Amino acid sequence: MDSLVFTAVLFAAACHAGWNTAIKIGSDTLSATVLIAIGAGIVGLVLLPFVGVPLSAAWPWVAASLAIHLFYFIGLSESYRVGDLGQVYPLARGTAPLMTATLSAPLVGETLGPFGWGGIFALASGVLLLSARGGRALARVDWHSTAFALFTAVTICAYSLVDGMGARLSGSANAYTACLFIGNAVVLAAYAVVRLRGKVLGTIAPYWVTGLAAGFLQFASYGIVIWAMTVAPIAIVAALRETSVLFGAALAVVFLKEPLRLIRIVAAVMIVSGLLMIRLR
């Protein structure tokens, strides 16, 4: 895999962990999620005059992605509301690349060699292992948060495939990204107005600095991924993105005071092994 793409996606993973942690810092995860989306939409508006709009062939994919992202953000915010970041985040992110890799061959026509499949499997297994003891005993499974996390994983798989194919038809990955995040901000703000029943401004006000900063991280993170999916296999990029759990686990331990256990170290070794296999494919 090209070194520039590989390094860029790892940087995107670090940004992704940052804005996901920002969601959990606030007491109201929905408000934080919406504010972050608004922040990313503002970045898109600023860049729009410079990057333009995508070609007409990409607009149906943008529309589909907006619908999927609404359910993604709902699932994500609900997951963090009822569960630990260290448990929910790896579970949602670990199952998604396996789904994406399985579906990319029949839907996109991409095939992966032994190193590609081996790397994705090792990386996903390490990510899932992180969720096994993410702030809770292994024997005490929180089925509520687990269900939301798995629902979120399905939406991650769906928007990864949609955005990968849409960006390839857009003529410009940057234009596709800008329009996507502008649309996301509008859709989520409308959802928040309905869900919070007119209390949106008062609810999000305490988090506006964190939210807007995290919005920039969100835009940078997924913008890089969308570009990468135009020059590399979607399944490989989607899997590399999930290394964000390593950054997320570190942030959860440092800022959210979630426990660090030996099993997380073992999981990290598995993830790094998967990275090496992907890099050498």
- Tens-digit pLDDT profile for residues 73-82: 888 777 767 6
Comparing 11 with 33, the larger pLDDT belongs to 11
**Domains in the chain: how many in total?**
1
- DSSP at 139: T
What pLDDT was estimated at residue 76? 75
Taking only the tens place, the pLDDT of each residue in 97-129 is: 888 988 988 888 887 888 888 989 888 888 777
User: Which range has the worst mean pLDDT, 92-96, 169-173, 244-248, 268-272?
Assistant: 244-248
End-to-end CA distance of the chain: 6
Query: What distance lies between CA 62 and its chain's CA centroid?
Result: 17
How many Å apart are CA 231 and CA 245, to the nearest integer?
24
Comparing 70 with 203, the larger pLDDT belongs to 70
Task: Please give the residue range of the domain that contains residue 158.
Answer: 3-280
In the block, which residue shows the tokens 């329009």? 179
User: What type of residue sits at position 259?
Assistant: P
Reported pTM: 0.85
What is the rounded (10 degree) CA torsion for 64, 18, 89, 255? -150
- DSSP at 27: S
How many Å apart are CA 136 and CA 132, to the nearest integer?
8
In the block, which residue shows the tokens 């008062």? 202
Q: For residues 85 and 21, is the Cβ–Cβ distance under 8 A?
A: yes
What pLDDT was estimated at residue 227? 97
